[in-house]
Structures are given as C-alpha cells and as structure tokens.
C-alpha cells in the first residue's frame, strides 16, 4: 500500500549546494523501502552553476509573490465520511509560503534507587514527531483569500490523519500527520494575506492481514 500519492501539482525542492546529493540519495532509498512514489529528483527545474564554495541557482521556483520557495507542503486530496456517506471532499491543496519546524523526543523511563545518586534510565523507543507549520495564504491585491482560508480550515478540521507531500518531511520519514490544533490570526495592514500556524504530530499507517 502506498503511503501517499504525489499530486499532479508537484513540488520542487530548491537545490542550493552539493549537500542535496546525499539528501536525494536518502529519499530514493526511503522511497524504495516503503514503496513510495516520489518525483524523480534528477528532473529538477533548477540549473546549477558549479564552482566556488556554493552552487548558484540560475533558475528559481517562485511563489505568487515572486519569492523563492525552499520547501512547500501539499495536503493530498481527501474525503471526509459522515453518517450519511461523503460529508466533504477537497482537492490537492498546495501552500508555497510555509516554514516547517520538526522535533522528536525519546521515550525514557527513569527509576530512582535509594542510596544511589541520579536515576536508572530505560530507553523504550522514539516518540512521534512534533511538527509546527507556519505560513500564509495570499490573495490578489486588496482581496482577502477567504476561499483558501475556508478550504484549509475544512482540511485541518477533518477528524482523521492527513496525507501530505513534502520533500522536507519525506526526508524525515514523515508522510502522514494528525492535526492537534491550528490558528488563523489577523495582521494589521495585511488584508490580502492570511497567516496561520498548525501544530501536528506524525502518524504511521498499519495494515492488518487476515489469515484464513
């Protein structure tokens, strides 16, 4: 079973230096082991000029505002099921202007022993990734992105894990997330922009095999 589907509107990671070679190699291995379809990293929209301490991108992928996109995120198309069938649906929802912050804790049990300083530590595994997504939705000049905000709210309100496409998160083995909370805030003087913050945690799919 595929962990997620790559939408027709594909993402494009910004290649800045030679470190990307190891990142691409890691993504390819991860995709092969988990049967994931990802965009061929060799088909990059960037032309890189070799030389010097840092590669120089001659062609850049830019957002609607003309700013360079380093890492975007796509909430893959989904369906919300209600008591009477399909309650709501959405198409692939792509956001270019985002910043991702990912952290992970280890699960450790500590035990105090009388007469001994410190504690005995027992490592039992890794906790879920904690993911913070901050970004903005952009409307045209002097037009608030009301429809985009409404659509994102519907996606985030779904009571189910969400499939995502993001090369940055894929590189950390994250393909599905569960939304914990989200916030839409107003900013003085920026009527055409809607800022948001999303807090989520990683999720893994499990398959049950019935043996008859």
As a whole-number percent, the residues of the chain with pLDDT over 70 amount to: 65
pLDDT higher than 50, residue 196: yes
What tokens does 29 get? Answer: 């291995």
In order, the DSSP letters of 94-151 are EESSEEEEEEEEEEEEEEE-TTSSSEEEEEEEEEEEEEEEEEEEE-STT---HHHHHH
pLDDT 10s digits, 110-161: 999 999 899 999 999 999 999 999 999 998 888 999 999 999 999 999 989 9
pLDDT 10s digits, 52-99: 444 444 445 566 666 666 778 999 999 887 777 777 888 999 998 899
Ranges of each domain in the chain: 64-203
Q: What is the pLDDT of residue 198?
A: 97
Predicted confidence band at 175 (pLDDT cuts at 50, 70, 90)? Answer: very high
| CATH code for the structural domain at 64-203 | 2.40.30
Task: Give the Cα separation of 14 and 102 in Å (integer).
Answer: 19
């Amino acid at each position: 079973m595929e962990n997620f589907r790559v939408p027709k509107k594909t993402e494009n990671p910004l290649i800045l230096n030679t470190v990307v070679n190891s990142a691409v190699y890691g993504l390819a291995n991860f995709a092969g082991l988990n049967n994931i379809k990802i965009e061929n990293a060799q088909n990059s929209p960037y032309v890189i000029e070799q030389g010097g301490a840092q590669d120089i991108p001659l062609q850049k992928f830019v957002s609607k505002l003309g700013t360079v996109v380093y890492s975007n995120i796509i909430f893959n198309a989904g369906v919300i099921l209600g008591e009477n069938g399909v309650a709501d649906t959405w198409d692939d929802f792509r956001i270019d202007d985002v910043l991702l912050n990912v952290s992970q804790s280890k699960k450790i049990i500590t035990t105090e022993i009388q007469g001994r300083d410190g504690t005995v530590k027992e490592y039992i595994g890794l906790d879920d990734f904690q993911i913070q997504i901050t970004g903005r939705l952009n409307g045209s000049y002097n037009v608030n992105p009301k429809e985009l905000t409404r659509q994102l709210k519907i996606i985030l309100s779904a009571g189910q894990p969400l499939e995502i496409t993001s090369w940055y998160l894929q590189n950390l083995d994250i393909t599905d997330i569960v939304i914990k909370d989200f916030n839409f805030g107003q900013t003085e003087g920026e009527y055409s922009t809607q800022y948001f913050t999303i807090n989520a945690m990683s999720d893994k799919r499990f398959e049950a095999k019935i043996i008859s």
